[in-house]
Amino acid sequence: MAKRGKEFYNRYFARQSRFSILPPEDKYLFRISPKYKFNIIGSGMMGIEHLRTTYLEGRALIHGIYDPNPKSVTATQNVLSQIDPEQKLKIYDTLENACKDPDVDGLIISTPNFSHISVIKEAIKSEKHILLEKPMATTIPDAYEIYKIAEDYPSVFQVGLQYRYKAMYVEAIQEALINKRLGDIKMINISEYRFPFLDKVNQWNKFNQYSGGTLVEKCCHYFDLMNLFAQSKPKKVYATGNMAVNFKEFEYNGRKSDILDNAVVSLDYENGVRASFNLCMFSPQFYEELTICGDEGYLHSYENIDYLPGTKPKTYLELKLGEESNSRISQPCYPKYIEESGHSGATFFEHKYFIDTIEGKETSVATAKDGLWSIVIGYAAQKSIDLGIPLIIQDLLKEFSLNI
Ligand SMILES: NC(=O)c1ccc[n+]([C@@H]2O[C@H](COP(=O)([O-])OP(=O)(O)OC[C@H]3O[C@@H](n4cnc5c(N)ncnc54)[C@H](O)[C@@H]3O)[C@@H](O)[C@H]2O)c1
């Protein structure tokens, strides 16, 4: 059987309970032999997605977790018991012990944003491979410090900006950047319409101080994509936004939420590319859209999750090349079980490429430099809203004595 077929059948069938009757020696297609062991630091919603995805990908297992919240620990144990009833998670009592365990090859850090900087400073002592959730940090100085740490890090240091692996963006990257079918890219627009920020452990995402602000916390994904498509550094940012609908009455430990729920961000890049980003977080459905126009063509793509019955496609991509070449309409997708494993399959490919990079293969994973630039834009946009003026990125960086 070709390698490709074997991998496909492994993932799809291997963990179905109807095959649990098979003795180990009868498992060929369904044999799973993980080579790597990872620990999860911070096992909330995203930590559990990382756990599920690790087992679906198949080349690694989760050895243990460190999380100070007992409910997160129990929930993670419960999820693992459904995936592999034989395996018991090691529960660490300190961050240090979770990081330095010699049995483990890599660390997946999915703690709240504000804690990334302190967790990373402990994690790097291990020199193990690291997958650090986005946003890398909540401020530009912390993000810069992590970027410098990652530059000299002796193992893989990957940042969790995995939206670039959603099928719609993979195809857009292929057409716009690799095949260059749009010619020179001139304009980029991304929009996100979605529901409010979800509940979190200690509700850290309702406060700018802990999340970095909405445009850093969530929108770093989109600024990373814009940076990728623009292939340049941001020059000027102007943004407007406010808290129009969500969490206006929300209080936690006597403190009122201060996050914005809508914004319009416009960006000039150093190479002349113009970009804009629209965010609305009080939409009853999820809709994410990308439009890119170059001097030879136009690309429009969306992802739509609206919870309504019907047969509307979940994704759509059109490439319009006018009279010059063939146009194309498609529905980019992955197998259903991969899409359902989290973030439309993007997290699965983030794991696949994390392990590929560990194994020395060439990948296009998000680096700490990508993480830094996505935060620079988010931070600048937040500040532009606060001040009501456009910001020149290099002037902003000078305020932190940075020249990057
Ligand atoms: N890449 C993505 O698409 C994506 C999606 C969602 C969340 N995230 C990111 O993942 C991270 C976690 O988000 P979440 O949604 O899972 O939040 P969450 O609140 O559901 O989970 C966070 C967990 O971290 C634990 N924790 C807090 N401080 C800790 C510490 N110092 N050490 C160890 N554990 C600690 C909490 O007890 C909790 O269980 C955030 O950085 C978030 O931005 C990324």
178 CA distance to ligand 1 middle (Å): 34
Report the predicted TM-score, pTM, of the whole model to 2 decimal places: 0.96
Domain ranges for the chain: 3-162, 163-339+367-399
Q: Which two tokens stand for residue 394?
A: 């290099």
| CATH code reported for the domain at 3-162 | 3.40.50.720
Ligand 1 neighbourhood includes 200 CB (under 6 angstroms): yes
Residue nearest to atom 4 of ligand 1 (CA): 46
| CATH code reported for the domain at 163-339+367-399 | 3.30.360.10
Residues of the chain with pLDDT under 70: 1-9
Residue 278, Cβ density class (10 Å: 0-12 exposed, 13-18 middle, ≥19 buried):
middle
Q: What are the phi and psi torsion angles at 127 (to 5°)? A: 60, 20
Say what the pLDDT of residue 307 is.
81
Distances (CA, A) of 182 to 167, 177, 272, 318, 319: 19, 9, 16, 12, 8
Residue nearest to atom 25 of ligand 1 (CA): 42
pLDDT tens per residue across span 75-103 = 999 999 999 888 999 999 999 999 999 99
Q: Which two tokens stand for residue 148?
A: 């410098």
* Element (DSSP H or E) covering residue 138: none
Q: Which two tokens stand for residue 314?
A: 């979940």
Ligand 1 neighbourhood includes 113 CB (under 6 angstroms): yes
Do you find a cis peptide bond into 135, omega within 30 degrees of 0?
yes
Say what the pLDDT of residue 296 is.
97
DSSP code, position 314: S
403 CA distance to ligand 1 middle (Å): 31
Ligand 1 neighbourhood includes 404 CB (under 6 angstroms): no
134 CA distance to ligand 1 middle (Å): 10
Ligand 1 neighbourhood includes 115 CB (under 6 angstroms): yes
Residue by residue, DSSP assigns 37-83 as EEEEES-SHHHHHHHHHHHHH-SEEEEEEE-S-HHHHHHHHHHHHHH
Ligand 1 neighbourhood includes 43 CB (under 6 angstroms): yes
Strands 274-280 and 185-193: parallel
282 CA distance to ligand 1 middle (Å): 22
Q: Find all residues with CB under 8 Å of 60, minimum gap 6, and list them.
A: 34, 35, 36, 37, 38, 54, 105, 106, 351, 355
Say what the pLDDT of residue 1 is.
39
Could you tell me if 175 and 299 are in contact, meaning their C-beta atoms sit under 8 angstroms apart?
Answer: yes
Report the nearest atom of ligand 1 relative to the CA of 204. Answer: 19
Say what the pLDDT of residue 324 is.
86
Residue nearest to atom 40 of ligand 1 (CA): 112
Report the nearest atom of ligand 1 relative to the CA of 218. Answer: 43
Could you tell me if 37 and 77 are in contact, meaning their C-beta atoms sit under 8 angstroms apart?
Answer: no
